[in-house]
Structure 1
Amino acid sequence: MPLKVVQPVPLPKGTDEYEAKIKAILDDFAAKVPDSLVLPESITSNPPKDVTSVPRDCGLLAAEELDITEKYDAVGLAEAIASKKLTAVAVATAFAKRAIIAHQVTCCLTEWFMDEALERAKFLDDYLEKNGKTIGPLHGVPISVKEHQALAGHYTSFGWLDTRTLDKEDAQMVRIFRNAGAVFYVKTTQPQGIMHLEGVSQYGRTLNPYNINLSSGGSTAGEAALIAMRGSVLGIGTDIGGSIRGPSGFCGIYGFKPTSYYLPMKDFLVGGFGAELNVLCSTGPMCNTMRDMDLFVKVIKDANPHIEDPRLVPIPWKGLSAATPKTPLKIGIMWHDGNIIPQPPVTRALEWAVSKLTQIPGVEVKNFAPFQTKRGMDNIRKAYWPDGGAAVKAHLAATGEPMFPLTQWIIKDAEGGDIGSAGVLAQRVERDNFRIEYSAHWAAQDVDVLLCPMFIGPACEHDTSFYWNYTAFFNYVDHPGVVFPTPVKALAKGAEDYRPENATPISEEDKHVRKLWAKGDFEGAPIDLQMVARKYYDNELFSALAQVKEALGLP
Structure 2
Amino acid sequence: MAPFVEVLAVPTGTPEFETLKQSILDEFWAGVPESLYLPESLIKNPPKDVTAVSRECGLLTPEEIDITENYDAVALAEAIATKKFTAVTVAQAFSKRAIIAHQLTSCLVEWFPEEALARAKELDDYLERTGKTVGPLHGVPLSVKEHMPIAGHYSALGFLDTRHKDDHDCHMVSIFRAAGAVFYVKTNQPQGIMHLESVAPLGRVLNPYNINLSSGGSTGGEAALLAMRGSILGIGTDIGGSIRGPAAFCGIYGFKSTSYYLPQKEFLTGGFAAELNVLCSTGPMCHTLRDMDLFVSTLKAANPHLEDPCLIPIPWTGTTTPLPSPKLKVGILFHDGQIVPQPPIIKALEWAKSQLSGFPDLFEVKEFVPFRTAELMQNIRKAYWPDGGKAVKAHLATTGEPMLPLTQWILKDAESDTDAGTDGVLAMRVARDLYRQAFVAHWNSQDIDVLLCPAFVGPACEHETAFYWNYTAFWNYVDYPGVVFPTPFKAGKKGEEDYKEEYQEVLSQEDKHVRELWQKGDFEGAPVDLQLVGRKYYDNQLFGALEKLKGALQLP
Question: What TM bracket, shorter-length normalisation?
Answer: over 0.9
Query: In the alignment, which residue of structure 2 is the partner of 1:388?
Result: 388
Query: In the alignment, which residue of structure 1 is the partner of 2:108?
Result: 109
Query: In the alignment, which residue of structure 2 is the partner of 1:362?
Result: 362
Distance of 1:383 and 1:325 partners within structure 2: 35
Distance of 1:322 and 1:342 partners within structure 2: 32
Contact 1:339–1:507 (8 Å) recurs in 2 = yes
1:109 partner amino acid: L
Contact 1:325–1:544 (8 Å) recurs in 2 = no
Distance of 1:164 and 1:289 partners within structure 2: 33
Write out aligned runs for 1:393-472 (5 A): 393-416=393-416, 417-472=418-473
Secondary structure at the counterpart of residue 161 of structure 2:
helix
Write out aligned runs for 1:72-87 (5 A): 72-87=71-86
Encode CA deviations 1:205-224: one digit per residue, 9 max, x unaligned. Answer: 00000000000000001000
Contact 2:396–2:403 (8 Å) recurs in 1 = yes
Encode CA deviations 1:271-305: one digit per residue, 9 max, x unaligned. Answer: 00000000000000000000000000000000000
1:366 partner amino acid: K
Contact 1:332–1:450 (8 Å) recurs in 2 = yes
Query: In the alignment, which residue of structure 2 is the partner of 1:132?
Result: 131
Encode CA deviations 1:297-343: one digit per residue, 9 max, x unaligned. Answer: 00000000000001000000000134458422100000000000000
Query: In the alignment, which residue of structure 2 is the partner of 1:301?
Result: 300
1:336 partner amino acid: H
Write out aligned runs for 1:275-290 (5 A): 275-290=274-289
Secondary structure at the counterpart of residue 320 of structure 2:
coil
Contact 2:484–2:529 (8 Å) recurs in 1 = yes
Contact 1:325–1:543 (8 Å) recurs in 2 = no
In structure 2, runs of 5+ residues without a counterpart are none
Encode CA deviations 1:53-79: one digit per residue, 9 max, x unaligned. Answer: 000010000000000000100001110
Distance of 1:378 and 1:45 partners within structure 2: 42
Write out aligned runs for 1:56-455 (5 A): 56-323=55-322, 326-360=325-359, 361-416=361-416, 417-455=418-456
Contact 1:331–1:449 (8 Å) recurs in 2 = yes
State the 1:526 CA deviation: 0.3
Distance of 1:204 and 1:90 partners within structure 2: 29
Relative distance call for 1:322 and 1:435 in structure 2 (3 A) is: closer
1:513 equivalent in alignment to 2:514: yes
Contact 1:490–1:524 (8 Å) recurs in 2 = yes
Contact 2:483–2:531 (8 Å) recurs in 1 = yes
Contact 1:493–1:522 (8 Å) recurs in 2 = yes
Distance of 1:343 and 1:86 partners within structure 2: 44
Encode CA deviations 1:141-166: one digit per residue, 9 max, x unaligned. Answer: 00000000000000000000100010
2:410 partner amino acid: I
State the 1:496 CA deviation: 1.0
1:512 partner amino acid: H
Encode CA deviations 1:3-24: one digit per residue, 9 max, x unaligned. Answer: 1111100111100000001001
State the 1:552 CA deviation: 1.1
Encode CA deviations 1:147-187: one digit per residue, 9 max, x unaligned. Answer: 00000000000000100010000000000000000000000
Contact 1:279–1:383 (8 Å) recurs in 2 = yes
Secondary structure at the counterpart of residue 550 of structure 1:
coil
Encode CA deviations 1:228-266: one digit per residue, 9 max, x unaligned. Answer: 000001000000000000000000000000000100100
Query: In the alignment, which residue of structure 1 is the partner of 2:32?
Result: 33
Contact 1:144–1:187 (8 Å) recurs in 2 = yes
In structure 1, runs of 5+ residues without a counterpart are none
Contact 2:216–2:249 (8 Å) recurs in 1 = yes
1:187 partner amino acid: K
Over aligned residue pairs, what C-alpha RMSD do you find?
A: 0.7
Distance of 2:318 and 2:265 partners within structure 1: 23
Contact 2:321–2:540 (8 Å) recurs in 1 = no
1:54 partner amino acid: V
Secondary structure at the counterpart of residue 256 of structure 1:
strand
1:524 equivalent in alignment to 2:516: no
Query: In the alignment, which residue of structure 1 is the partner of 2:51?
Result: 52
Secondary structure at the counterpart of residue 320 of structure 1:
helix
Contact 2:236–2:242 (8 Å) recurs in 1 = yes
Encode CA deviations 1:357-378: one digit per residue, 9 max, x unaligned. Answer: 1112321000000100000010
Distance of 2:357 and 2:48 partners within structure 1: 36
Secondary structure at the counterpart of residue 50 of structure 1:
coil
1:545 partner amino acid: L
Contact 2:49–2:208 (8 Å) recurs in 1 = yes
Secondary structure at the counterpart of residue 355 of structure 1:
helix
**TM-score, length of structure 2 as denominator length:** 0.99
Contact 1:113–1:186 (8 Å) recurs in 2 = yes
Distance of 1:34 and 1:150 partners within structure 2: 26
Distance of 2:500 and 2:42 partners within structure 1: 39
Contact 2:321–2:541 (8 Å) recurs in 1 = no
Contact 2:321–2:543 (8 Å) recurs in 1 = no
Contact 2:108–2:187 (8 Å) recurs in 1 = yes
Contact 2:247–2:254 (8 Å) recurs in 1 = yes
State the 1:352 CA deviation: 1.1
1:146 partner amino acid: K
Encode CA deviations 1:442-461: one digit per residue, 9 max, x unaligned. Answer: 00000000000000001000
2:273 partner amino acid: G
Distance of 1:220 and 1:143 partners within structure 2: 14
Distance of 1:411 and 1:163 partners within structure 2: 20
Contact 1:263–1:284 (8 Å) recurs in 2 = yes
Distance of 1:541 and 1:517 partners within structure 2: 32
Distance of 1:185 and 1:325 partners within structure 2: 42
Deviates more, 1:410-419 or 1:140-149: 410-419
State the 1:553 CA deviation: 1.1
Secondary structure at the counterpart of residue 335 of structure 1:
coil
Distance of 1:509 and 1:278 partners within structure 2: 25
Relative distance call for 1:546 and 1:326 in structure 2 (3 A) is: farther
Distance of 2:201 and 2:130 partners within structure 1: 45
Contact 1:196–1:218 (8 Å) recurs in 2 = yes
Distance of 1:82 and 1:146 partners within structure 2: 27
Contact 2:261–2:312 (8 Å) recurs in 1 = yes
1:405 partner amino acid: P
Distance of 2:487 and 2:96 partners within structure 1: 29
Contact 1:325–1:547 (8 Å) recurs in 2 = no
Secondary structure at the counterpart of residue 319 of structure 2:
coil
Distance of 2:453 and 2:323 partners within structure 1: 23
Distance of 1:388 and 1:252 partners within structure 2: 35
Distance of 1:203 and 1:368 partners within structure 2: 42
Contact 2:459–2:491 (8 Å) recurs in 1 = yes
Deviates more, 1:320-329 or 1:402-411: 320-329
Distance of 1:399 and 1:405 partners within structure 2: 18
2:236 partner amino acid: G
Distance of 1:322 and 1:178 partners within structure 2: 27
Distance of 2:235 and 2:192 partners within structure 1: 18
**TM-score, length of structure 1 as denominator length:** 0.99
Query: In the alignment, which residue of structure 1 is the partner of 2:22?
Result: 23
Distance of 1:406 and 1:175 partners within structure 2: 33
Query: In the alignment, which residue of structure 2 is the partner of 1:502?
Result: 503
1:549 equivalent in alignment to 2:531: no
Aligned length: 554
